[in-house]
Amino acid sequence: MEIMEKVAYLKGLAEGMELDTDKKEGKLLAAIIDVLEDIALEIEDIEDAQAELGDGLDAVSDDLEDVEDVIFGDDDDEDDEYYEDDLGEDEDCYATTCPTCEETVYFDESILEDGEVICPNCGEKLEFDLSTLEDDDAPSDEE
């Protein structure tokens, strides 16, 4: 049973019992039933508004998904080809291992001029000597 149905049932019981609203107890019970009816109506309004907001949120979510598809594209495989497409064939790619998190960090010649690399995994500042670096043609899928 819905809340409004329960309140209507209580109201019917009170009328069926021929509750005397001139007495203190009758006035109290009648007032409680009226308050319960008002609360039930408010709850119905809140539930309707919540359903309406949910529908609106679903529509916004669908629209956002469409925008993401336009901006980022539908193909998730593009992420895997990022390094191969963006690195020129003439550029050398270097790799070093972070001593803190032991992850392999890849970088190109433009970073060599700075003489240091910040590990993207743990934030450790890696200073290096060119003789200790491994020369790679392209980074592997580890990152």
Between vectors from CA 13 to CA 10 and to CA 18, what angle results, nearest 5°? 130
Q: What is the pLDDT of residues 27-80, one digit of tens each?
A: 999 999 999 999 999 999 999 999 999 999 999 999 999 999 888 886 555 554
Q: What is the pLDDT of residues 121-136, one digit of tens each?
A: 888 887 766 555 454 4
Place of tokens 């200790």: 132
Two tokens, residue 122: 């743990």
**Amino acid at residue number 140:** S
Interatomic CA distance for residues 18 and 13, integer angstroms: 9
**pTM exceeds cut of 0.95:** no
Q: What are the residue ranges spanned by the domains of the chain? A: 3-72, 89-136
Two tokens, residue 38: 């008002």
